[in-house]
Amino acid sequence: MTVLTLALLLQDATPDQLGPPPVAAHSGAIAEMLHNSGPTALTVLGILLLASIFSWAIMLSKWRSFGAANKQNRRFVRAFRKSGRLSEIAAVADQFRPSPLVTVFHEIHDEYQRQSGGRGTPPNPQAMERAAQTASSEAVTIMERRMTWLATIAQSATFVGLFGTVMGIVDAFHGLGTAGAATLRAVAPGISEALITTAAGLVVAIPALVGYNQLTARLREFAARCDDFGRELLNAIENAALLPPPAPPVQEEPRRRTL
């Protein structure tokens, strides 16, 4: 209702009441809005600027780290499937970090070593499965760091901009009461604050929301790959334990010389 009332007042105003057009409007509307903004609007814009820089820093760092982890995942899986012994993979697994599959492998391999010394069938396969689930959860949790900040910025930036909008409308009506007439000069500072803070809130919130949704989808993919690799590793341990041990080489007896 307040915005509608303000619009009706401006519509009823005569051209003489509106006053001459601002000269600085030709040089840039945004610069004129910033010039007319009060301390409250400038504070809101400063907060939104810091939030935007922080959100973009999180998104860029996550995209870079997720890309490196995905690349190392593929390399580690190829090396794991080509190798025939877990000890060989354990010796070179750290070379494939920051792959989350390395964390899953180390956790399962350590549990296997504790149970059977790395040989034979593990006496407690349920503990191996729990170790795989725990390792997968820990790996994804590490990758989720600072994602809550991105979600917070995406949800709160619009409300911060709305606060600036409300304060701009308040300033506009205060200007109307002070001037005593519905002139553009009286309401221009408040209207500019309302418009620029609303736009700034959307500019900050929309990229943060899109980035959060995309990164969350990537995290779900990493979680599924960790679970699949854990099951594959458990199957490999079980199949290797069922194979019979290799027979020792037969040594030929030396031939006796005949006279």
pLDDT digits (tens, 9 = 90+) for 1-17: 444 444 444 444 444 44
Q: For the purposes of burial, counting CB atoms within 10 Å of the CB of 5, is it exposed (0-12), middle (13-18) or buried (19 or more)?
A: exposed
Q: What are the sequence ranges of the domains in the chain? A: 38-241
Average pLDDT of the segment spanning 76-95: 85
Angle between helices 100-116 and 39-82 (to 10 degrees): 50
Average pLDDT of the segment spanning 231-238: 86
Rounded mean pLDDT of the chain?
77
Average pLDDT of the segment spanning 90-114: 88
What is the pTM (predicted TM-score) of this model? 0.72
Query: Vertex 127, ends 125 and 129: CA angle to 5°?
Result: 75
| CA atoms within 13 Å, Cβ hemisphere of 32 | 13
Provide the percentage of residues in the chain whose pLDDT is more than 90.
Answer: 30
Average pLDDT of the segment spanning 95-119: 86
Q: 36 versus 140: which is more confidently predicted?
A: 140
Instruction: Give DSSP secondary structure letters for 175-225.
Output: HHHHHSS--HHHHHHHHHHHHHHHHHHHHHHHHHHHHHHHHHHHHHHHHHH
Q: Out of 86-95, 100-109, 203-212, pick the least confident.
A: 86-95
For residue 211, how far is the Cα from the chain centroid? 7
Tell me, what's the pLDDT at 70? 92
pLDDT digits (tens, 9 = 90+) for 52-74: 999 999 999 999 999 999 999 99
Provide the percentage of residues in the chain whose pLDDT is more than 70.
Answer: 68
pLDDT of residue 32 exceeding 90:
no
